[in-house]
Chain A
Amino acid sequence: MSPSPSPGVVVDSVARSFGSVHAVRDASLEAPAGQVTALIGPNGSGKTTLLLMLASLLRPDAGTISIAGFDPVTQTEEVRARLGWMPDVLGSWNVLTVRSALETTGRLYRMTAAQSSRRASELIELVGLGPIADQPARVLSRGQKQKLSLARALVHDPEVLLLDEPASGLDPVARNDLQLLIRDLAARGTTVLISSHVLAELDEIADRAVYLEAGVTASADRVAAAQGTERPWRIRARDLPGLGGALVAAGVHPDDIRTDRDELIVPVAGEDAAAELLTRLVRAGVAISTFAPALGDLEHTFQGLARDTHRPTGSTR
């Protein structure tokens, strides 16, 4: 263990444009060591561009980036020695076997042949590619390539791990394994920054979230405001008409109640209101089997922010 904790990832007012396209306009975020930070945003919001800048591949037009205490622009080598990057594009050297692809990556990180070979075996074990370790990469399925890509990002045991859509294409078991692996890495002090648009899955794994939209990271205020808005809750009871009556009696407007198969969905503003509603329903004697938010925390915030941004502002030219 190092005496001082690693600063992880710090991004301050970073911008990057491609010609007239402003991919990232003003992004600021912090990803502390030992935590999993989710980077959330709709398609085309600049997530991948931001990650490319963090991965030392793109030069920001403005702002500063610090990866494990080093600047990717001026201290590229120091950053690369400490950074693992799993891109959203699944590229693999088709002719090489899984094992030799990992060994080659180790060699590219200036490890000796023996070190690379040992590390490749460890990683094959870790991500569960054992049965196909000596198959050429071109025969791998999408999910297996995903695992190979993750293993490649881990070859040099990085302090900072950037994962761009790591779980797409994975089956539920593999996805669960991935989550355990990422949590384990974070528990050992790795800074993990993970981007995805499958928000339910990030909900289970992320300690914190950064929202990016149209190249701008959302401020803490806007996130708090979005979290406080009403969100749908899912309530299930054997006696649906009785539940409906109890809801109206508890003060829910009848027009707000939606029926979804054998559940009712009602809007609730925040955790406190939900607790109060549940208490009333139980007091009214309704036998409730499910009472839960219909949207995950991240998704709710995300949708709240998206609504906020898309609302017409009234300014015209």
Chain B
Amino acid sequence: MNAYLTGIGVIFSLEMRQRVRSLAWYILLGVYVVLILLVTVILALTLGAYQSRGSNEAGNAIYSTVIYFVLLLGTLVAPALSGNSINGDRDAGTLATTQVTLVTTGQLVLGKFLAAWVTALAFLAASVPFLIYAGFAGHLTVGATAVSLLVLAVELGVVAAMGVGLSGLISRPLFSIVTTYLVVAALTVGTLIAFALGGLVVQSRQTTIYTGGTDTAQYDDQGRASACNPPVTQVQTIPRYDRVWGLLVANPYVLLADAVPTSYDTSGEQPVDLFGQLKFAERSAQIAPRVQQTIDECSAGYGASQASPTPRHVIDSTTPGWAVGMLAQLVLAAEALLGAWRRLRTPAGRLSKGTRIA
């Protein structure tokens, strides 16, 4: 086992020196730090103005925004850094000379994956000072901090694994990088589109029995009408997002929000950060609409049918789906790495068209 790890280590360090430690990469990291600095300063100045003394809302908002920013930039940069790690070596003529040594295919793929992951994590590391600042300003709980950082690290790992895996499965570096970007896009934007369309496809008929006030009716302070028309039955189709909400948890941003324990404001009902707001939106989608509803403005009043539970109530009463979403992503990432491993095994049997082995 020790020898196996040494092999991974040699590939890892080779990869880091060969691919990553270049001037362009440091410049990219520098630009990234400046961007985060700007975001943090602007948020601190603007949100700080709204915040009452002693409250921690601004800090929470900054923290969640910076985390999302790291996730955004990390998933944008990681495909470019990992998406050609195997086929790029083949193009440079260094893959086959590595394969004829005693390093195994598993060590090769894992070493490259680790290097790609650590590279992406460097972006997280560069944003740590800002996260610490926001964390202190927002009096963040250890749990929220740890979970958000952990989920972020895993998400970057998933993208790195997809990049390395696809670079082994696809011969041309350009295509594998583009495909990795498309996978990231499918997870971030595609899941949202699928969710929206899915909700429209799976529709239900909603029957509403509506008893409304007459034109001349008077309404009291409860919203009750003094005189009502006869009940009217209305039938309409409504999207059933509660049947497709599972698509949302494959989304990295939603998944992250869903996983982080929510902080509430002083009223104890409203989430204070982006995580909580997104989580509320996602959890709300789980609630099935009423297929049969009765609105009676005379006996119950208008307001009764409109009353909705608070965000806290919604969040507490619905299912956390992030673990399933993350599991699905991990399976996808492992599948990509496994595919690359199968494709790289030597002596090679079947070769895909146009593949040059050396």
Contacts and interface: CB of A to CB of B under 8 A. Distances in A.
A93 B22 CA distance: 13
Interface in B1-33: 3, 6-7, 10-11, 14, 17-18, 21-22
B348 A57 contact: yes
A59 interface: yes
Contact of B17 (A55, A81, A95): A95
B92 A85 contact: no
B358 A57 contact: yes
A89 interface: yes
A268 B67 CA distance: 84
A146 to B, nearest CB: 13
Contact of B14 (A60, A92, A104): A104
B22 A85 contact: no
Given A52-B357, A57-B346, A108-B98, A90 B93 contact: yes
B102 A80 contact: yes
Contacts of A100: 17
Contact of B94 (A52, A57, A88, A91): A91
A301 interface: no
Contacts of B101: 80, 105, 108-109
B347 A72 contact: yes
A55 B100 contact: yes
B241 to A, nearest CB: 49
A56 to B, nearest CB: 5
A159 to B, nearest CB: 14
Most buried by A among B6, B93, B103, B358: B358
A206 to B, nearest CB: 23
B89 to A, nearest CB: 8
A240 interface: no
Interface string A76-87: 110011010101
B14 A83 contact: no
Interface in B23-82: none
A76 B349 CA distance: 14
Contact of A58 (B95, B102, B103, B357): B357
Contacts of A80: 100-102
A110 B97 contact: no
A218 interface: no
A215 to B, nearest CB: 17
A87 B93 contact: yes
A115 interface: no
A19 B92 CA distance: 25
A107 interface: yes
Contacts of A76: 346-347
A259 interface: no
A188 B97 CA distance: 24
Interface in B84-111: 89, 92-103
Given A56-B346, A59-B348, A91-B92, A110 B18 contact: no
Contact of A57 (B14, B21, B92, B357): B357
A96 interface: yes
A58 B351 CA distance: 9
Given A93-B14, A95-B21, A110-B7, A59 B349 contact: yes
Contacts of B97: 85, 87, 91, 105, 149, 152
B357 A81 contact: no
Given A59-B349, A76-B347, A91-B92, A110 B100 contact: no
B94 A53 contact: no
Given A18-B351, A56-B347, A110-B102, A94 B18 contact: yes
Interface of A: 18-19, 48, 52-53, 55-60, 72-73, 76-77, 80-81, 83, 85, 87-96, 100, 104-105, 107-110, 149, 152
24 contacts: A48-B358, A55-B100, A57-B347, A57-B357, A58-B357, A59-B347, A59-B348, A60-B347, A73-B347, A76-B347, A77-B102, A80-B102, A87-B97, A89-B96, A91-B94, A91-B96, A92-B94, A104-B10, A108-B10, A108-B11, A108-B98, A108-B103, A110-B102, A149-B97
Interface of B: 3, 6-7, 10-11, 14, 17-18, 21-22, 89, 92-103, 346-349, 351, 353, 357-358
Q: Which 6 A-B pairs have the closest CB atoms?
A: A91-B93, A108-B101, A59-B347, A89-B93, A91-B94, A107-B10
Given A57-B346, A93-B94, 11 more contacts: A52-B357, A59-B349, A80-B102, A89-B93, A90-B93, A93-B18, A107-B6, A108-B7, A108-B11, A108-B101, A109-B101
